[in-house]
């Protein structure tokens, strides 16, 4: 495989090299001795005894409501701005756990206070959700980011179940309508691209809609959900997935779905692709279409083989499908969410198909995550490592990292491992 340093220090990996790999040859795992129930207990304990208490204690703003997400290693607050998509994620997380794990009053109270802050300050009155607010709820950044909308939808849909409050369900439905309206132009008037020159569309929205459709289906007309699901499956598996590469690209031409030879058009985000595959597996189960699960496993295995750093371990953040230098300066960083979501995909793939390559990769990811991201001194996990796996930023939360990927990952992996034999 062409995975060597050039004179500039960049790693050049071409997608076509996948066909020449000796698949999984360097994974040394004792699959036969893996104790699923013991591992399940490890993830359960990390969630309930470490991660959740950290966020309950340190993130809740007792004065103004909502959540602090900019937290130091020990949980102390270093910035008080509030980011709508992270506010929505935390409401969703505690509502989901209240619904699916245990009816703990402190979980519901945490979700409710965050939701009331969002309800009062998070949108412009017409359910256009800002990107960020001051601590006391004044808008800082306008509603340019579609993910403020998607995670508000998830939050209020899940809280409607937890609380029984029809008002929260109404907010979820109205916000979902806004998401559907914005699908063709997510950033709207805040889009910086000049119209018509090189129109592109990105993978992130259909990916999120695969998951959001299952989160919102109890509130939406089943025919509409079916239509959205089929559209998203087509986009993910027939448009962004490129069989010749064995990979999903981040951007394609909005005019004809073709590949684009530009920084954006060459970009591969292995973490996005791997996360999306467990969404597809869930849809395959929901629709009773095992072929979707099998295809998701195939794509996931190709992606992690391509994205894994053969020298230092871990998954690259960004890659270029032609092996050119990446535009993102952080391309070789190892991020928490990439590895946690990949671990969910691999253990879910094993549970649903029995594919032992998935189990082997889960073991490799498990070892990497607990060795490099787990903080041995304070609760919660580090988010940002350099290529060698050393901590770059000791923070536990910020503008992009909140109460979401770590606890959701702990929950998902715990639940799946308990079902494994």
d(CA 122, CA 128): 8
Q: What is the CA radius of gyration of the chain?
A: 21
Last residue of a domain, one of 134, 168, 191: 191
Number of other CB atoms surrounding residue 163 within 10 Å: 18
In a domain, 11, yes or no: no
Mean pLDDT of 187-212: 88
The answer to whether residues 298 and 275 belong to one domain is: yes
197 domain residue, yes or no: no
Q: What's the number of domains the chain is made of?
A: 2
Token couple for 98: 């209240």
For 36-73, what is each residue's pLDDT tens digit?
A: 999 999 999 999 999 999 999 999 999 999 999 999 99
Tell me the pLDDT tens digit for each residue of 295-310. Answer: 999 999 999 999 999 9
Neighbour tally for 97: CB within 10 Å: 24
Confidence at 9, pLDDT banded by 50, 70, 90? very low
Instruction: Evaluate whether 130 touches 139 at the Cβ level (below 8 Å).
Output: yes
Give the model's pLDDT for residue 28: 41
C-beta pairs of 58-61 under 8 Å, 24+ apart in sequence: 59/90, 59/397, 59/402, 59/403, 60/110, 60/113, 60/114, 61/117, 61/135
Residue 219 shares a structural domain with residue 162: no
Can you give the pLDDT at residue 351? 98
- Burial status of residue 73 (CB atoms within 10 A of its CB: 0-12, 13-18, 19 or more): middle
Helices (H) and strands (E) in the chain, counts: 14, 16
Can you tell me which residue has the tokens 């998701």?
296
- Can you tell me the distance from the alpha carbon of 57 to that of 395, in angstroms, rounded to the nearest whole number? 16
Place 195 in a pLDDT band, splitting at 50, 70 and 90.
confident
More confident residue, 312 or 16: 312
> pLDDT digit string (tens) for 72-121?
999 999 999 999 999 999 999 999 999 999 999 999 999 999 999 999 99
pLDDT at 194: 86
End residue of a domain, out of 191, 220, 241? 191
As a whole number of angstroms, the distance between CA 130 and CA 149 comes to 9
Q: Are residues 151 and 84 in the same domain?
A: yes
Q: Residue 123: its pLDDT value, please? A: 98
Read off the pLDDT of residues 237-288 as tens digits, 9 standing for 90 and up: 999 999 999 999 999 999 999 999 999 999 999 999 999 999 999 999 999 9
Distance (Å, whole) CA 351 – CA 338 = 20
Q: What are the residues facing 299 on neighbouring strands? A: none
1 falls within a domain: no
Provide the pLDDT confidence category of residue 8 given band limits of 50, 70 and 90.
very low
Banded pLDDT at 19 (limits 50, 70, 90): very low
Which residues constitute the domain of residue 223? Answer: 29-58+202-421
Residue 12 lies in a domain: no
Asked if residue 169 belongs to a domain, the reply is yes
Work out the end-to-end distance of the chain between its first and last CA atoms, rounded to an integer number of angstroms: 35
Question: Is 8 inside a domain boundary?
Answer: no
Of the residues 136, 167, 191, the one at which a domain ends: 191
pLDDT at 1: 37
pTM: 0.92
Report the CATH number that the domain containing residue 414 is assigned in CATH. 1.50.10.10
**pLDDT number for residue 185:** 79
Report the DSSP beta bridge partners of residue 391: 385
Of the given ranges (175-184, 316-325, 359-368), which has the lowest mean pLDDT? Answer: 175-184
Same domain, 166 and 249: no
DSSP 13-69: --GGGGGG--TTTT----GGG--HHHHHHHHHHIIIIIIHHHHHHHTB-TTT-SB--
Cα–Cα dist 224/177, whole Å: 11
What is the predicted pLDDT for the residue at 32? 67
Q: Let me know whether 39 and 87 are in one domain.
A: no
Distance CA 239, CA 221 (A): 26
Judge whether 2 lies within some domain: no
Query: Is the domain of 151 the same as that of 233?
Result: no
Same domain, 236 and 372: yes
DSSP state, residue 400: S
Q: For residue 24, is pLDDT > 60?
A: no
186 and 109 inside one domain: yes
Q: Map 257-322 to HEC letters.
A: CCCCCCHHHHEECHHHHHHHHHHHHHHHHHHCCHHHHHHHHHHHHHHHHHHECCCCCCECCCEECC
Task: Name the average pLDDT for the chain.
Answer: 92
Helices within 60-165 (DSSP H only): 84-100, 105-121, 146-163
b or e along 235-247 (b: 16 or more beta carbons within 10 Å of the residue's beta carbon)?
Answer: bbbebbbeeebbb
Confidence of residue 25 (pLDDT cuts 50, 70, 90): very low
* Contact indicator for 343, 369 with CB cutoff of 8 Å: yes
* Lookup result for tokens 């470490």: 50
Residue 30's pLDDT band, with cuts at 50, 70 and 90, is: low
Q: Examine the pLDDT at 329 and tell me if it is beyond 50.
A: yes
In this structure, is residue 282 part of a structural domain?
yes
- Residue 358, φ and ψ in degrees, nearest 5: -60, -45
Assess whether 44 and 117 both reside in one domain: no
Tell me: pLDDT of 29 over 70: no
Q: What are the residues whose beta carbons fall under 8 Å from the beta carbon of 108, sequence distance 6 or more? A: 94, 95, 98, 162, 163
């Amino acid at each position: 495989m062409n995975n060597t340093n050039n004179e500039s220090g960049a790693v050049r990996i071409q997608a076509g090299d996948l066909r020449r790999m000796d698949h999984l040859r360097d994974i040394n795992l004792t699959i036969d001795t893996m104790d699923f129930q013991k591992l399940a207990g490890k993830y359960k304990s990390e969630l309930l005894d470490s991660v959740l208490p950290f966020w309950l204690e340190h993130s809740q703003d007792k004065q103004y409501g909502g959540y602090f997400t900019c937290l130091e290693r020990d949980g102390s607050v270093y910035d008080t701005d509030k980011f709508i998509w992270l506010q929505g994620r935390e409401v969703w997380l505690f509502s989901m756990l209240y619904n699916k794990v245990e009816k703990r009053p402190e979980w519901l109270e945490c979700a409710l206070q965050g939701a009331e802050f969002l309800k009062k300050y998070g949108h412009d009155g017409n359910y256009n959700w800002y990107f960020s607010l001051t601590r006391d709820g004044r808008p800082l950044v306008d509603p340019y980011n579609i993910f403020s909308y998607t995670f508000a939808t998830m939050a209020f849909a899940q809280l409607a179940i937890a609380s029984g409050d029809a008002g929260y369900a109404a907010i979820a439905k109205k916000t979902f309508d806004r998401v559907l309206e914005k699908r063709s132009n997510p950033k709207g008037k805040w889009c910086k691209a000049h119209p018509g020159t090189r129109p592109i569309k990105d993978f992130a929205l259909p990916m999120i809609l695969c998951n959001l459709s299952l989160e919102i289906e109890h509130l939406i007309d089943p025919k509409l959900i079916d239509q959205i699901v089929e559209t998203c499956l087509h986009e993910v598996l027939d448009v962004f997935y490129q069989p010749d590469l064995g990979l999903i690209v981040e951007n394609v031409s909005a005019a004809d779905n073709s590949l684009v030879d530009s920084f954006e058009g060459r970009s591969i985000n292995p973490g996005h692709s791997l996360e999306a595959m467990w969404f597809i597996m869930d849809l395959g189960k929901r629709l009773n279409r095992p072929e979707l699960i099998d295809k998701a496993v195939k794509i996931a295995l190709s992606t992690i083989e391509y994205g894994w750093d053969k020298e230092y371990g871990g998954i690259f953040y960004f890659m270029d499908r032609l092996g050119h230098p990446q535009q993102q300066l952080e391309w070789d960083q190892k991020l928490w969410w990439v590895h946690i979501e990949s671990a969910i995909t691999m253990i879910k793939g094993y549970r649903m198909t029995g594919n032992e390559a998935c189990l082997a990769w889960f073991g490799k990811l498990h070892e990497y995550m607990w060795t490099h991201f787990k903080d041995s001194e304070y609760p919660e996990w580090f988010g940002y490592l350099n290529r060698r796996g050393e901590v770059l930023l000791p923070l536990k939360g910020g503008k992009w990292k909140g109460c979401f990927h770590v606890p959701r990952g702990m929950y998902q992996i715990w639940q799946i491992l308990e079902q494994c034999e």
